[in-house]
Every structure is written in structure tokens, then in C-alpha cells.
Structure 1
């Protein structure tokens, strides 16, 4: 039996390179976290926003939130906090720094999910490695991440590289563009026709 699938928008990063909270950038006329929340909700009904405790006030009330409750830093904290809250669930995880992602990439990921693997991940077009933050993590994959994290290895990509995963070549791979700096934010805005 496949684990129930929930959505997770990862907003808890410190955004140091961007010099502003990436989750609040309005590429689509609303904060990016909110855009992604509704985007994922069109594919998976139950979606949560993952954030640090001090970010809660920046989110609209009524949005399901999982605050970081695992000591440490990095995206593993958000993933493991979600796993602790709902250990029975698989999670479609999306980083908040994906301004070009659309429903077609999400549908492609969900329709090709292999629930008997540890994860189903899109392949990065930039380095041909699995994308840990555009992926479906099954409970078994999150258990592996938890074990590695507990041993001081907190890189989700390294966990995927040493797990039984399905890697997918996304036909819409241009949508996997990450915007982590002000230059990349401007580039994303250009690609979206916003011209920021």
C-alpha cells in the first residue's frame, strides 16, 4: 500500500545570498510560498508550509504550517519536522526558490511516483544529480535521512545518492531553475516576463 501523499513547501532557509526572505518574493503577484502552496494544492489536496518559528507571522492564518522542531540547520530540518508530524506520510517536497515551476512538472513527478522506492526525484539539468527538494520522499527515505542526520550527515542529496530511488528526466526541466541570489531573481523575473 502506498503511503498517503502530502505536499510540503520548504520556506525555512535563511536566504543569506538573496539578502531577503525568498519565500516573500512576489514573482506571481503574491508571496512565493503562497503561489507554491496553491500550485501544489492543485495536484495534492493536503499541503503544508514548512518554516522557522519566527516566520509563522509572515504566513496567512488558516494555512497548515509545520514549524521546524528538529535542532540543526538546512533543508533536512524541514523534511524531518514534517516526518515527525506525519510519520505515515510520503511528502512531495518543493523548495521555495523555484519561481518557474508549474503544475506540469508536479503532475509529471506524481504520475511517475514509485512508492516502493525510498524516493522519486527529478534530475537536475545543471549537474545531473537527483533534486532532493523537487522530489517525493517516501517514509523509508525519510527514515534514512533521519539516521544520516543523527550521525551528522545532513545533506538530503547525499541521502538520495545512497538510497533506492527513481530518478526522472523532467521534460520541463527549464522549470527547475533555482533563484538564490539577486541576479537569479532578476533572471527568473525576466523569464516570467515581469522585468523586476
Structure 2
């Protein structure tokens, strides 16, 4: 199946990084910041990559950056900003803390995203991964309503709109794991030694 070029990728680099105590997307993993690993996984799908952040430190990757329209609204605010800014129907949205994500996994997500679903995301049957997902521009209104009602929990919001869940295997689960703390980063590094 052909990968459509009419897709924009947005990496959400907001968040307070409270548990990591430093900007998550800039944390080093195997000699590169998280953000570089994620960009490398996206490049085979689209070169149209935009960071949603107000942190100028991300300028080191040389990609366009946009700031949250509504700051302090978490991932719901970041996704709203991405969809509002996007000029494409399909939008690949990722958090900045998934350094093990791979191009083949993202290609599967994009290729299998259903025409009639507002959101296509991975699930392992127990956990859903709405921060590695394809969001259609049509979801914008739902996100706008959620922000104005201050309903900022992402999973319940995604479950309210038409969605498609692509099941991942136990092996793939490590690829979608988000690394939120120094302890999680340490255990990831130890696992790979």
C-alpha cells in the first residue's frame, strides 16, 4: 500500500516533565535526544513534521515549531493546536517521549487508518495509545468543545468519537512505551544491555 503524502506529523513537546525533571524530548537515549529518534521514525512517512512547543531549545532539530493555542491544556490542547494548524486531513500525532517508536509501526498505523474513523490508535487490549495516533481534521470540533468544557482527559475523549484501534503484539508494546521518568529511562537502558 502506498503511504499518502497528504499527512502532517506533529510531535507534542509540551508537558511539564515533572517526573523526568528535564525536557523529555531532549533527554538523551543511545547518544541522541528522544526527539531525534521520533523524527527518524517519521521521515519515511512524511517530511512535513511540526513540533508543538513553546520551548526554543527544540530549534536544534531545525523543524517548524508552533505554540499551544490554549496553554496548560495538556495533550488535548496540543492535539487541538495541531489539528487547527494542519492543512491536511490526516495528521500523525506523537508525544515526544516515545524514543523506541519505529517507521514500520508508524507506517502500519497510517496505512490501516480507516476512512470513517476520526482517530486511529494503537491498543494492546488493556491500554490505548492515543499519543501515537492518526487524527483526522474532522476531530477538531470535538477537541474544541472538550477544551471549552475543561474535559482534558484524552482517553475518554478519544473513546467518545469514532475511533479505530489497531492491536499491537507483546513485542511491539515496548516500541510504544512512553518514558516519563529517570527511573523508566534507566530500566530501558538496563534492559538493552
Q: Same fold (TM over 0.5)?
A: yes
Give how far 1:151 is off. 1.0
Deviation for aligned residue 1:88? 4.5
Segments of structure 1 that go 5 or more residues without pairing to the other structure are none
In the alignment, what sits opposite 1:163? 161
SS at match of 1:135: strand
Distance 1:103 1:28 in 2: 18
1:174 Cα offset (Å): 2.3
**1:22 to partner: Cα distance:** 0.8
How far did residue 72 of structure 1 move? Answer: 3.0
8 A Cα contact 1:100 1:177, kept in partner: yes
Q: CA deviation at 1:3?
A: 10
Matched, 1:42 2:44: yes
Shift in alpha-carbon separation, 1:65–1:89, aligned structure 2, 3 A: farther
Which of structure 1's runs of 4+ aligned residues deviate more than 3 A?
none
Seen in structure 2, the aligned counterparts of structure 1 residues 94 and 163 have a Cα distance that, compared at 3 Å, is same
* 1:73-88 equivalences in 2 (<5 Å): 73-86=73-86, 88=88
Per the TM alignment, residue 46 of structure 1 is displaced from its structure 2 partner at its CA by 0.9
Q: In structure 2, how many angstroms separate the alpha carbons of the residues matched to 1:141 and 1:81?
A: 12
C-alpha distance in 1 between matches for 2:88 and 2:46? 16
| TM-score normalised by structure 2 residue count | 0.87
Q: Is the 8 A contact 1:3 1:89 kept in 2?
A: no
TM-score by length of 1: 0.86
User: What do the CA deviations read for 1:147-175 (whole angstroms, capped 9, x no partner)?
Assistant: 11211101221111111110010232221
- Other-structure match for 1:22: 24
Alignment of 1:90-129 (within 5 A): 90-123=90-123, 125=124, 128-129=126-127
- Say which is worse superposed, 101-110 or 67-76, in terms of deviation: 67-76
Q: How far apart in 2 are the matches of 1:23 and 1:75?
A: 14
What is the SS of the residue equivalent to 2:130? strand
Whether contact under 8 Å (1:17, 1:180) holds in the other structure is: yes
Per-residue CA deviation, residues 62-81 of structure 1 (Å, 9 max, x unaligned), is: 31112222243311221111
C-alpha distance after superposition, 1:97-141 (max 9, x if no partner): 112211121111111111321110101x3x724311011011122
Contact kept? 2:146, 2:152, Cα under 8 Å: yes
1:42–1:173 CA distance, 2 compared to 1 (3 A): same
User: Do the aligned residues in 1 keep the contact of 2:101 with 2:175 (CA within 8 Å)?
Assistant: yes
1:154 to 152, 155, 169: 152
TM-align CA RMSD: 2.1
Aligned length: 188
Structure 1 residue aligned with 2:6: 4
